[in-house]
Amino acid sequence: MTAATCLYAMGVQPRRRVHALVLFRSETGDVLLVKPSYRPDWLLPGGEVRPGVPIGYAVARELVEELGLQRSIVHALAVDQSPANLETRHPEGLTVVCDGGLMNCGEAVAMSLPVRSVGIEELAWVSPKRLPDFVAPFMECRIRAALAAVRFGVRMPLPYNGESAD
């Protein structure tokens, strides 16, 4: 029996966690990763989407907080579902990997870590071949799914309540 099944059997209907991450690519094909202070591995930039907040808006706010980067986010590349975890008491979750597009050298140089309180220690551009050296397997899977979507030209709009995000 899964954690979610146990919770449902007890009459508990947990809320879902929603996270939005952004895939930025360099002109050479590298991927931008951030190193948070609260984890041993690296991640794509982004964060939690609070209830009632459009995904594109939430992740754009995270980019400003984490990187000092203003960017409009209107497309998703991949979605990953995570099961509930009774040990950590996390409900099941959805992670949307959004398209940040190509970042040119000027934008990359302009990025900063404006606020240490958000917990980002470092930034790195990483070749897809080196992802296993930086990220957990679940994050590598998300990144590779998003890169495949880019390669095949698949981008899903991020409407909110039936309205265009852009």
By the 8 A CB rule, do 77 and 155 touch?
yes
pLDDT at 138: 94
Q: How far is CA 141 from the centre of its chain?
A: 12
- The 10s digit of each residue's pLDDT in 61-87 is 999 888 888 899 999 999 999 998 888
- Print pLDDT tens along the chain (166 aa): 555 555 555 555 557 889 999 999 999 999 999 998 888 899 999 999 998 999 999 999 999 888 888 899 999 999 999 998 888 888 899 999 999 999 988 888 777 664 455 688 889 999 999 999 999 999 999 999 999 999 999 999 999 999 887 7
By the 8 A CB rule, do 155 and 75 touch?
yes
Phi, psi of 88 (to 5 degrees): -90, -5
What is residue 143's DSSP assignment? H
State the pTM of this model: 0.87
- The 10s digit of each residue's pLDDT in 150-166 is 999 999 999 999 988 77
By the 8 A CB rule, do 142 and 65 touch?
no
pLDDT at 58: 97
Report which of 125, 99, 114 is spatially closest to residue 65, judged by C-alpha positions.
114
By the 8 A CB rule, do 156 and 77 touch?
yes
pLDDT at 113: 61
CA distance 143 to 161: 27
